[in-house]
Structure 1
């Protein structure tokens, strides 16, 4: 019922947004008067009403070129493989004189689309042949496609690595650090030729018992049944996934917003002021971020609940008790995949130590094949996006991949 109520309220707000959009289109009619201080405030209000909203459609990656060497080269998206729940996309560039390492970027399914990693992709493209797991909105996947749980996520990672083919490297961001590590353990044990030569884990919950955050406290402070009873809802009838049980993206976004409500309020106040002052570039920077941030996708109920149970409540991988389809995951079997873990000093989602815990689990790796990097002064998103990612963290990732190539 909650999902249907949210959808109804969204529908009721549509006429108001349409009226605001129509009002914005009248601005050119008033010439210089439309830029008087009072008019600026009026049109800024209309802009906020018309354009501040949630959407469940994947934004475009908008990566048309990439820096390579001393110049830019064109980039085109190429569909390499597809399943009902996710695509394997390649950001293809013209053939290089020197072949670049192939990298699979594993995106989280945590309420946002993989496009949230746009800047991660842009930077990786400078020196790598980049692929990404482009997950689909569970709202749009019909029930006939079956279920998608934690084990299915691991299967997708293995399948996509095999589609790319060796030699390949893997970078996992946030939540998928656990299934990515599990996939490498399975592939190592099976001597799978597509097993990645290097694995980079960035800000992920490998062992949530270390320095618990508010996210971890929420997971352990409520029973598994509480999550199922209060956060799982059915997709409304109008969508392809009608009847599918999901954890709605708007609920996840609400939780993220509540964690930093004052910051988000201040950013929207600043957006309004930039619009009212005619500072279009500053307003566009904030708007672009929130257009991405407010694009949400639903998680299948089974994947969300199994992740809560296995990763956040019981920490099974960290205890050596995680299983994949009845098969025990043994990270000690990883012997040829070099490991780099990256953490942010101010990460309030995956705290310092939670990702580095992977080193103790990968006991079969020799010391020279394991590295850890702690970036000072960044929070969760700063680990994979922004100035410090580009200038300080990426050189560490690039060197790690190059050394393992």
Structure 2
């Protein structure tokens, strides 16, 4: 009933949101003398804060119409090239001259952890100048009818394998946060089966490979509760009249509330600052706040079977680092990975995937040659700084692109020495 009450509350607030938005426009209209007074600006600011605090944020767009490549602006077009009920594959087609040498083909696997793939807009933007970029665009489970069947962690792994088959040889795969485990599992299965289309390299960024190492608040919560607690307390049916009516899901608004509660004081301060920026007519600062929270507050539901299997597999039983993970009856053997180069990236101040959790992939992938592996720790960044922001663009993205260039199947392996930060 909780999900239904949430939807009912949202519907009941709709008239108040509409009224608040209308009054905000009236108070901020330059033809209204009140708009030029402190009282008028404060009223408009308060009304906007109320409207934004009670609205449902829709799926954002990537909004990347061009990229600067070789110093020249180049048009970029989004195209869905592969479709399944729970995922679309988006290709960012760049209008490059045919005479130009091909860039590495890169599959970015976005996290299915409550936010849309557009959370990686900065990741895509930074990779576009040097890569032919594809990204997984996961579908909100509440919009997938029950007739489309279920979707669990095994399906997720299978989707990744199918995507690598679709993209063909010499593909480089990047997993950001949550997909680090299924991507590593998919690559291990492909290598164990001597699959010729296994990727040239995999980059795991801020992912929970082994959450027993430096456990964070998120990890500790999962360990303290049995899987039955999660099934009984956070799994709910999608309410009518949504397309996924009666599908069992982990609602995105619950995931969002959990993330926000971890840094509640920071979000409250940001809201207070936003109000003050509006009152002071500081448009640039206010717009930055809107841009961030338009993305951060846009959430999607996860299928219950995927969520519960992930919690049990990754956070409670730790079966991948223990060598006990299974996929469709086949053991996930990370020691079978021999031909796929491995880059792991962590943030020094990551409070979601603790330091060392991603690096654990280097330990369990024992048969990757030394010249095909690298670990990098970015100083002074938290979880989101691992895949977004100025340090990502300046420090991390160039390392990833260089790693891709050095580790294509057609290129001779090169041992790289990375200066700055912490690398191994």
- TM range, normalised to the smaller chain? over 0.9
Residue 31 of structure 1: CA displacement?
4.3
CA distance in 2, matches of 1:315, 1:274: 46
CA distance in 2, matches of 1:86, 1:99: 26
Matches within 5 A, 1:262-301: 262-301=265-304
Check if 1:303 corresponds to 2:335.
no
State the partner residue of 1:8. 8
Q: What do the CA deviations read for 1:22-57 (whole angstroms, capped 9, x no partner)?
A: 112323263454121111111111111223345363
State the partner residue of 1:313. 316
Check if 1:235 corresponds to 2:238.
yes
State the partner residue of 1:38. 39
State the partner residue of 1:398. 401
CA distance in 2, matches of 1:268, 1:51: 10
Cα gap change, 1:134 to 1:374, in 2 (>3 Å): same
CA distance in 2, matches of 1:404, 1:84: 33
Q: Secondary structure at the match of 1:79?
A: strand
Check if 1:202 corresponds to 2:239.
no
Moved over 6 A (4+): none
Matches within 5 A, 1:377-388: 377-388=380-391
State the partner residue of 2:417. none
Q: What do the CA deviations read for 1:173-203 (whole angstroms, capped 9, x no partner)?
A: 0010000001111111222232110100000
For normalisation by structure 2, the TM-score amounts to 0.94
Q: Secondary structure at the match of 2:108?
A: strand
After TM superposition, the structure 1 stretch with the greater mean CA deviation from structure 2, 56-65 or 41-50, is: 56-65
State the partner residue of 2:77. 76
Q: Unaligned regions of 5+ residues in structure 1, if any? A: none
Q: Secondary structure at the match of 2:17?
A: helix
Q: In structure 2, which of residues 163, 184, 188 is the aligned counterpart of residue 185 of structure 1?
A: 188
CA distance in 2, matches of 1:157, 1:280: 42
State the partner residue of 1:135. 138
Q: What do the CA deviations read for 1:292-342 (whole angstroms, capped 9, x no partner)?
A: 111010000000000000000001000000000111001111111100000
Q: Secondary structure at the match of 1:73?
A: strand
Q: What do the CA deviations read for 1:335-373 (whole angstroms, capped 9, x no partner)?
A: 111000000010000011000000111111111111000
Residue 211 of structure 1: CA displacement?
0.7
For normalisation by structure 1, the TM-score amounts to 0.98
CA distance in 2, matches of 1:54, 1:396: 39
CA distance in 2, matches of 1:77, 1:253: 28
CA distance in 2, matches of 1:194, 1:286: 43
Contact 1:56–1:297 (Cα < 8 Å) also in 2: no
State the partner residue of 1:86. 87
CA distance in 2, matches of 1:144, 1:124: 37
Residue 77 of structure 1: CA displacement?
0.5
After TM superposition, the structure 1 stretch with the greater mean CA deviation from structure 2, 258-267 or 161-170, is: 161-170
State the partner residue of 2:108. 105
Cα gap change, 1:54 to 1:46, in 2 (>3 Å): closer
Superposition RMSD in Å: 1.1
Residue 143 of structure 1: CA displacement?
0.3
Residue 12 of structure 1: CA displacement?
1.1
CA distance in 1, matches of 2:275, 2:160: 42
Residue 164 of structure 1: CA displacement?
1.4
CA distance in 2, matches of 1:52, 1:387: 28
Q: Secondary structure at the match of 1:100?
A: coil
Contact 1:54–1:294 (Cα < 8 Å) also in 2: no
Contact 1:200–1:339 (Cα < 8 Å) also in 2: yes
CA distance in 1, matches of 2:278, 2:29: 16
Contact 2:17–2:55 (Cα < 8 Å) also in 1: no
CA distance in 1, matches of 2:196, 2:79: 23
After TM superposition, the structure 1 stretch with the greater mean CA deviation from structure 2, 360-369 or 340-349, is: 360-369
Residue 124 of structure 1: CA displacement?
0.6
Residue 153 of structure 1: CA displacement?
0.3
Q: Unaligned regions of 5+ residues in structure 2, if any? A: 409-424
Cα gap change, 1:88 to 1:101, in 2 (>3 Å): same
Q: What do the CA deviations read for 1:365-394 (whole angstroms, capped 9, x no partner)?
A: 111111000011100000000011111111
CA distance in 2, matches of 1:361, 1:41: 57
Q: In structure 1, which of residues 222, 226, 229 is the aligned counterpart of residue 229 of structure 2?
A: 226
